[in-house]
Amino acid sequence: MGIRAGAVGAGLAVMSWLAVGCGDQSRTVEPGTQQAPEPSVGNEVPSDTPPVPPVDVGTPSPPPPDEGEGTEPGDPREAGPWPLDAVLDYTQRFGVGAPRSVGLDEGLNLWLLEGDRIGVLRPGDTTPQWTSGIGQASQPFGRDSLAIDSTVICGGEAGRAYVGYRAAEMQRAEGISQRTYIPGPGEANYTPERYAEYQKGDLDVVRLQPDGTVALEEHLWRTPGASNAGKQLGIHNTNDFHYEEDRSILNCARVTRGPYRGDLYVTTNHGVTRIQGLTYNSHRHPGWYLITTNPDGTKAESLQCPPMYGLGIAENGDVLVANEQMVGVLVPSGQLEEWDRENTWAGPTPWTFKGFNEALNGQASDDFWRAFEQTAAGHYYLGSAEFGVWSMTPKSRSSGNWSKLAGLPSNRILALKATDDGALYIGTNGAGLWRLEPDGTTLTQEQQVAGRRVLQLVYEPTVRPSMLLVLTESGLTVLRGP
């Protein structure tokens, strides 16, 4: 169940934060005056750039399930091509190793990411096949290279995956006040070196080939924004290509059900970006303004939107996001070009909640959120890298009742995942995997999962029994049936 808000109250400020970089934006406010709301910025003219046609990669069809196995009467889902063991160590069974990130595509190919290598375990294979040195990994990783390192991998349509990379934060250049601003050719202060920053980090789209290897499809660059039409510059602000704010991909999630099934969301050093196929719209963030006093006594506001790791997709399609200080719930619309239209509580993609944990820290203090989930009963949970698991019940659109979950052996949380049976799986940094029962109080440790540091949890509800991928420092374990 998602939060649904009513009409916008009188006097609420509506701000657009997309045309400038968080932390860069500052403005002077006259003492005793109220800052006027900014107009919404949208992408009014879709790009005329045609999409690249899909490539036939010969993705194998999953074998049919055994008769009566893994299904129930009236359930349209099938068992899928993978073993039905309640708990299975894929590192031991299939030799997948201990990758950095894992994902499943719509064809149930298992994707693996390890440094500059991408692996695929296809249904029917006994071991994965690895491909090295493509896309952003075609050069040795480093600060001055195409990427510092790889970060995450998410499956897309059958035979396609998205690979995220990390890039260094940009520095201010002479004559440029915004550190994320990049002039184009023929514009003031243009330099080829700064223009080359567009190509760093971001997201590669890769394709499975008939022989099991992986090839680069393209470095994602297409947007519905008129300012971006035809500019192959990686991920940057959709409404104005000059602002290169999304440079590092920190998390990703594929929508597995509902009308927007197949959409992909990625979180970055700046916000959350929505992707459909080879087209993205960037970005949204639950930012806030820090007010300081200038030497002359005037007030200045600086927009704060720190790195965003927390990302979840509710059963109704709401997008759950959490950066280091703020959390938010967004309702996507049916039009990709509407994703970045910031009208706060109104508009085509409104926030239905945007606030912070006042029971834990002040707004300016980092809560280190790493995960945000909603259980089948509608309860919200957030996991912090330092402060444990917190439940949150909204009491307004911007504040909530917060309560810390008791009974966990560690406050260091890296992953959460809500499952269809009403449970919440909790991945700790040092104490392994735990399960919170639907009653919201009973905790049990999943002792059959190898490893103490849970790096990632991926849930696939399209098969029956469902699949929960648990990635730890020891490798990959799959649970069937949560």
313 belongs to a structural domain: no
Q: Full-prediction pTM beyond 0.95?
A: no
User: Do the domain assignments include residue 380?
Assistant: no
Please report whether residue 287 resides in a domain: no
Q: What pLDDT sits at residue 263?
A: 98
In the prediction, which pLDDT does 302 show?
84
Which pLDDT score is estimated for 343? Answer: 87
Enclosing domain of residue 99: 82-247
What pLDDT is recorded for position 288?
Answer: 87
pLDDT at 301: 86
Residues of the chain with pLDDT under 50: 1-21, 23-70
- Dihedral sign for Cα atoms in the order 70, 74, 75, 81: positive
Residue 320 lies in a domain: no
Q: Provide the domain count of the chain.
A: 1
The predicted structure's pLDDT at residue 423: 98
Q: Is residue 145 part of a domain?
A: yes
Residue 106 lies in a domain: yes
Q: What is the dihedral of CA 391, 395, 367, 328, to 10 degrees?
A: 100
Within a domain: 33: no
Domain presence at residue 113: yes
